[in-house]
Chains A and B, each alone.
Chain A
């Protein structure tokens, strides 16, 4: 053994590190050292396999039932869990934005109509007088017909009458049941005068 050249020893190391006992059988036939080594390895591996079975810890009673109980308690199906769909989110967002835009439109339109009424239904001349930009003038050129349409809208007329009725009722209640103050009296007097 001592006479073995260093390349041979190196080769033995390579074989021992990278080969299984079966893979190194040809080399082991010609090398007694490696043969002994691989016999010891085979013995060790079989002992490891044997002891893994022999000293396996007993599974606790009810292990399987416990697992199934945990799964049922979690109550999550094995199928893919439903996730929020991106298309659904997009359509929801679109509906929200559309609702906000509609609300803004409904709030803005009555003001426009009222302003136009005060100004004598001459939006083009008003825009020119106030020196609006070209884009505003273009916008106003398009909007007035729409404003006229809304002004003649029966729903809008109904809303206006409801608003007027509610306002009158509030004024009546304030005049008769609220403690008298200078402000209240003056508002009541002015509304009475208008009426």
Chain B
């Protein structure tokens, strides 16, 4: 019983060591004024950061602007980066803060649906809508709180460990576990006996 209750870390998948080492070398090269090193960092991580911000904003332009802001802040504060940690986690932390500041400034915490202005959806949009219905993340967005959604995204879409998720979201590990459990329960409601 006690052995069973001891926490397991089998699920915690650390980031690939190679990637972390290469990122560290790129950061060092950028600080040594290598002009191409930061371009390589952007090339490696911009899509993930954009995707993460798109989950927050649900708006292409906002996500793109915030991605640019994120990398600009990262570039300006690169000397503060702790090279023992994965770079992408640091970028997610900056991106999250940028997004929260953006929403605070714009006072539009409520998510804005894309193409909300168009009255009649185009055929392409209709196809997209049918795809969205299949997308589990859309259902998650409907039934989960923003915080549960964010934690679930970091945990499963970004494949971060519970500890990393907690650090980025500014929560405790216990809180993250509770949120993940609640989110699972919500998403499995009706599909499973309690």
> Which residues of A are interface residues toward B (Cβ below 8 A)?
11, 14-24, 26-27, 33, 36-37, 40-41, 44-45, 47-49, 51-52, 54-57, 59-60, 63-64, 66-68, 70-71, 74, 76-81
Contacts and interface: CB of A to CB of B under 8 A. Distances in A.
Contact of B152 (A48, A55, A56, A76): A48
Contact of A64 (B43, B63, B187, B193): B43
A40 B191 CA distance: 8
Nearest to B178: A17
B83 to A, nearest CB: 14
A28 B71 CA distance: 45
Given A18-B177, A70-B71, A76-B76, A26 B4 contact: yes
A33 B193 contact: yes
Interface in B80-99: none
Contacts of B140: 48
Contacts of A74: 72, 75-76
Given A33-B193, A56-B51, A15 B46 contact: no
B184 A44 contact: yes
Given A20-B10, A70-B71, A74-B72, A51 B136 contact: yes
A6 to B, nearest CB: 15
B56 interface: no
13 contacts: A17-B181, A18-B7, A18-B177, A21-B11, A44-B184, A48-B137, A55-B137, A57-B51, A64-B42, A67-B67, A70-B69, A71-B38, A79-B33
B4 A55 contact: no
A75 B181 CA distance: 45
B115 interface: no
Contacts of B167: none
Contact of B8 (A16, A19, A56): A19
Contact of A55 (B39, B79, B135): B135
B192 interface: yes
A194 B184 CA distance: 107
A12 to B, nearest CB: 10
Contacts of B103: none
B119 interface: no
A22 B11 contact: yes
B102 interface: no
Nearest 10 CB-CB pairings of A with B: A23-B8, A52-B157, A20-B11, A22-B10, A48-B156, A70-B68, A55-B135, A51-B136, A67-B71, A17-B181
Contact of A27 (B4, B76, B136, B188): B4
B51 A49 contact: no
